[in-house]
Amino acid sequence: MSEDIILELDEKNWEKKIENSKKPAIVMYYSESCSHCRTMKPYFEKFAGEYGDKIIFGRIDVGRSSWIRERYGVMSTPTFKYFCGGKPVSDLIGAVYPKVLENMIRDMIKHGKECADRSSEIDYEITGYA
């Protein structure tokens, strides 16, 4: 089942599974109370079944991992964020048309090798808290 290939991410496995990954990844930031997340979940699972051998699919509950939500500037759910070489490259926010999400996944697979070169490094020493 495609849900089995979607990694359930949290602050304990985030670095290993996403930031240190050699494969491109797409992460769905969600919350249990989000109706749009429930709308997008079957499409995300379908695409994981179709493309899960080429790209990592993960999901993270923003209510349980607020540090990662803040670190990557996720303001609403669902947010789909694409990572290459552990760096965020692009994102989609909200209940988008499934075809738009699929096209973004296909683009990530097609351009996965060079996408990390077009993204910004994250300075892990910066914090908004004094």
What is the domain partition of the chain in residue ranges? 2-118
Do 55 and 108 contact (CB within 8 A), yes or no? yes
pTM as predicted: 0.84
pLDDT tens digit string along 20-75? Answer: 888 889 999 999 999 999 999 999 999 999 999 999 999 999 999 989 999 899 99
- When the candidates are 3.40.50.920, 3.40.190.10, 3.40.30.10, 3.90.550.10, the CATH number that belongs to 2-118 is 3.40.30.10
Band of pLDDT at residue 111, cut at 50, 70 and 90: confident
